[in-house]
Structure 1
Amino acid sequence: MPGNGLDYSTLFNRNLPPPSGPWEGHPKYNFIGGHSDPDMVPMEGFIESANRVFRGDPRNISMYNFDGGPQGIIPLRQFVVDKLAEHRGINVTTDEVLITSGSGLAIELINEILLEEGDTAIVEAFSFSGALGNLRRRKVNIVGIDVDEDGMRMDQLGQALDDLRNRGVRPKYIYTIPTLQNPTGTVMSMERRRQMLELSEEYGVPIFEDECYADLIFEGEYENAIRSLDDTNRVLHIGSFSKSLGPGTRLGYVVASWDVMSRLLSRKNDAGTGVMDQMIVGDYFNHHYEDHILEMRSSLKRKCDTLSSALRESFGPSVDFYVPRGGMYLWVKLPEGVDSRDLVAPALREGIAFNPGPDWSADPDAAAGYIRLCFALPNDDEIWEGVEKLADVFRAEGAVP
């Protein structure tokens, strides 16, 4: 009818999720997502790097994929190669590195080339919500394996692989976050890393290793990546700069052999990851990586200690949590029978946001009694105040005594 806009409701893809609401800004006490500490964003260093970049060859900006093609600019890929060799025990060439617009795109690309509807993927029982959501959208069968303080349990993994093989099912991959697992914060032991690689070889199932948080250990070093043990191209490895600098950078990477890389490139149709981001981040990290990471680790450890203390003071023994060796999250267990989904709206009304456990679980109901709290963004005062108010909300809702 004249004067009325086109009704798109009959045109939308029938498989779309529910529509999103308008953006209403961040809450005062923000414990969700993977935000980083604004005080740790190296603005002066970025300015210096940007000045150097803008004095460079203008063809980097005026042309698609000028330096390095769709895999990403060579200096940033070389930085990834050097970093992985020094800190993760991985030895690759720049031809085996693909720069992506965040690790989310890395997951998307790997799933795009490997998964079809009805396939099976093995994951940690509690895992990254973005990876789980991607699998669900693709109608992939998800098999969850329990995690303890040493990472994914290899006895359960072996049993699951055996059961699947007996049913004629070959999983497309084993997705794992072995180093500072999201959401639990655990670190897989080296023994289990070796066992996982052995199971991968025995059952012919590749490993999809997500190490987005590997830079963020609080002190010392930790076990090398699973990819470092692999000499038969069984491990696809991804990482991110978004957690080491800030999610606004939107840069991640994939490490894969050329037979896989060539397929990834055939599906990477974004005309290249943002070159200016790549150039500035590459320049900054080539000058400041070690110092920046040390400062970020120190800040995150302090905030983790603050959140742990605040939870103990405000909640007492009614909640339980594992204190991680690094990362930016605490995975908090609530009293028996409490469903964290019922507490989201009451908390938001008081300006507090947290992630309910079911979003981070292969079996959503199995994580109903958990919440995930990110401690990277709020300052120490906001952590103390936010946790105190959160405890008040939970008590008012009868969730804790």
Structure 2
Amino acid sequence: MVPQSGLPNGNAPASAFDMAAKMAEGLPGPAGAWTPIPRFSFVGGNNDSPSVPVGGLTEAAMSVLTKHGSELATYNLGGNPQGFEGLRTFVAGSLDANAHMPTSSEQVLVVSGSLQALDLVNAAFLRPGDVVVAEEATYGGMISKVARRGARCVGVELDDNGIVPERLAGLLDELAAAGTPPRFIYTIPTVQNPTGSVMPIERRREILAIARHFGVPIFEDECYSDLQWTGERPPTLRGLDCAESEGPSAVIYCGSFSKSIAPALRVGYIVGDVPIVRQLMALKDDAGTGAIEQLVLAEYAAAHFDDHVTQLRETLREKCAVMRHAVNTHMGALSQVAIKLGGPVQVTDPKGGIFVWLTFPAGTDTSSYLAPAAKRGIQFNEGAAWSVDPQWGARRMRLCFGSLSHDDIQEGVAALAQVIATT
């Protein structure tokens, strides 16, 4: 009890209470005010809205709630905290059939989007000062999440087929010699983000052999692999490892329904050996991923997933062609952008997914275009945020074409090129 003499004078104005000053140090800056998505938004992982299977999801929701609605009264539907059995069974069967990765439902942990998968794996493996090896261009969310745990990413060179094996072996040798062997290798081998490459099967075997030689686990992120439209989908690293090596696997795998069905569902999954999955379950202290989303996905996907994804791939392939044509037209040789920058902008030819990765002439800093582009209602991802070495990534840019119409892609790229040419 505060003594009466210690209470403020009843006539004096109360002093302002600074709640922010009581928070922990080292937090990220406060989020800005929400603003509507502009017409020419080339950022994020948003997908084609007409392709969301609204009708099928509606039917699935009605059916599954009739069957399982009363089970919502208990956490995890009264079942396994690994996730709804029907969804885990679908994931296991789909990976076996489409990714050459025989999987049991006990090896699957349902999570709240692949971002939670990253958090759980990072929490299990990383300590302050640790090192993670990642592709030199990689998912920006992973870079920031590793940094928040006091660890750091070290980049390894990419080419059109993914990680360059010789560079990986040399880097792991250097890190071992320096006394900082990495806790794991983070890779996106199938429809790499942001480059859109697909690692061939023989190179996958080389990467696995190198990782096993140095005793380094692999964290395989395949969130875009369902969207590969060029060539046959190769076996996953985990699938190859389990088939060709004895004993426990060296690979933890994660996937997501965000890109194949809808980002707002926030449902992903981790696949690993059972002891690893159970350890990650112990770190997943959120009382379970949303049950309705799992129920609906399980009901819908069992009947319609493959047909839906086949159609979505073709939609995205057409959009990618429109995007590449627009970039080559407005930023290629003889364009005003090329004249100003001293050379054309190079654009990748992805084998799937929803992104193209642009490389500008040396000396360009794409972040300098963020503010003037925003004034024109244009958003893009500057390359530094998607590169382990921000200086290496400064002359690069990621553009998402997934959510825009053909007309908006063409007009948006033209408007962005004008911003670049006049800034």
| Class of the TM-score when normalised by the shorter of the 2 chains | over 0.9
Could you list the per-position Cα deviations for residues 178-211 of structure 1 after superposition, in whole angstroms to 9, with x for gaps in the alignment?
Answer: 0010011111121111011111211110010000
Match of 1:134 in 2: 145
Structure 2 counterpart of 1:129, one-letter code: G
Could you list the per-position Cα deviations for residues 24-47 of structure 1 after superposition, in whole angstroms to 9, with x for gaps in the alignment?
Answer: 111110100000010100111111
Match of 2:97 in 1: 86
Match of 1:65 in 2: 76
Determine the C-alpha separation between the residues in 2 that align with 1:167 and 1:129: 26
Match of 2:337 in 1: none
SS of 1:121's equivalent in the other structure is strand
Match of 2:311 in 1: 295
| Structure-to-structure mapping, 1:86-165, within 5 angstroms | 86-165=97-176
Determine the C-alpha separation between the residues in 2 that align with 1:255 and 1:385: 41
Determine the C-alpha separation between the residues in 1 that align with 2:303 and 2:201: 31
Q: Does 1:305 align with 2:321?
A: yes
What's the TM-score once normalised by structure 2's chain length?
Answer: 0.92
Match of 1:235 in 2: 251
Match of 1:376 in 2: 402
Match of 2:63 in 1: 52
Could you list the per-position Cα deviations for residues 350-385 of structure 1 after superposition, in whole angstroms to 9, with x for gaps in the alignment?
Answer: 000000001101111110001100000000010011
Assess if the C-alpha contact under 8 Å between 1:146 and 1:156 holds in 2: yes
Structure 1 counterpart of 2:164, one-letter code: R
Greater gyration radius: 2
Match 2:367 to one of 341, 350, 370: 341
Q: Does 1:268 align with 2:250?
A: no
| Coordinate RMSD, CA, aligned | 1.2
Match of 2:350 in 1: 324
Structure 1 counterpart of 2:280, one-letter code: L
Could you list the per-position Cα deviations for residues 200-244 of structure 1 after superposition, in whole angstroms to 9, with x for gaps in the alignment?
Answer: 211110010000000001244221110111133100000000010
Match of 1:77 in 2: 88
SS of 1:188's equivalent in the other structure is coil
Match of 2:8 in 1: none
SS of 1:330's equivalent in the other structure is strand
Determine the C-alpha separation between the residues in 1 that align with 2:130 and 2:149: 9
Match of 1:354 in 2: 380
Determine the C-alpha separation between the residues in 1 that align with 2:208 and 2:192: 18
Match of 2:228 in 1: 217
Q: Does 1:189 align with 2:189?
A: no
Return 5+ residue gaps in structure 2 as ranges.
Answer: 1-11, 243-247, 334-343
Assess if the C-alpha contact under 8 Å between 1:113 and 1:264 holds in 2: yes
Segment of structure 1 superposing worse, 107-116 or 316-325: 316-325
Assess if the C-alpha contact under 8 Å between 2:382 and 2:396 holds in 1: yes
Structure 1 counterpart of 2:137, one-letter code: F
Match of 2:262 in 1: 246
Could you list the per-position Cα deviations for residues 79-98 of structure 1 after superposition, in whole angstroms to 9, with x for gaps in the alignment?
Answer: 00000001111112111100
Assess if the C-alpha contact under 8 Å between 1:144 and 1:363 holds in 2: yes
Assess if the C-alpha contact under 8 Å between 2:328 and 2:347 holds in 1: no
Deviation at 1:6, TM superposition (A): 2.3
SS of 2:191's equivalent in the other structure is coil
SS of 1:78's equivalent in the other structure is helix
What's the TM-score once normalised by structure 1's chain length?
Answer: 0.97
Aligned length: 397
Determine the C-alpha separation between the residues in 2 that align with 1:129 and 1:219: 25
Deviation at 1:139, TM superposition (A): 1.6
Determine the C-alpha separation between the residues in 1 that align with 2:309 and 2:264: 17
Shift in CA distance, 67/219, structure 1 to aligned 2, threshold 3 Å: farther
SS of 1:109's equivalent in the other structure is helix
Deviation at 1:169, TM superposition (A): 2.6
Return 5+ residue gaps in structure 1 as ranges.
Answer: none
Deviation at 1:141, TM superposition (A): 2.7
Q: Does 1:256 align with 2:275?
A: no
Assess if the C-alpha contact under 8 Å between 1:67 and 1:73 holds in 2: no
Assess if the C-alpha contact under 8 Å between 1:310 and 1:387 holds in 2: yes
Assess if the C-alpha contact under 8 Å between 1:67 and 1:74 holds in 2: no
Determine the C-alpha separation between the residues in 2 that align with 1:103 and 1:60: 26
Segment of structure 1 superposing worse, 357-366 or 216-225: 216-225
Determine the C-alpha separation between the residues in 1 that align with 2:157 and 2:261: 31
SS of 1:230's equivalent in the other structure is helix
Match of 2:245 in 1: none
Determine the C-alpha separation between the residues in 1 that align with 2:70 and 2:130: 43
Match of 1:284 in 2: 300
Structure 2 counterpart of 1:354, one-letter code: F
Segment of structure 1 superposing worse, 145-154 or 14-23: 14-23
Shift in CA distance, 87/315, structure 1 to aligned 2, threshold 3 Å: same
Determine the C-alpha separation between the residues in 1 that align with 2:295 and 2:112: 13
Assess if the C-alpha contact under 8 Å between 1:218 and 1:297 holds in 2: yes
SS of 2:45's equivalent in the other structure is coil
SS of 2:67's equivalent in the other structure is coil
Segment of structure 1 superposing worse, 9-18 or 24-33: 9-18
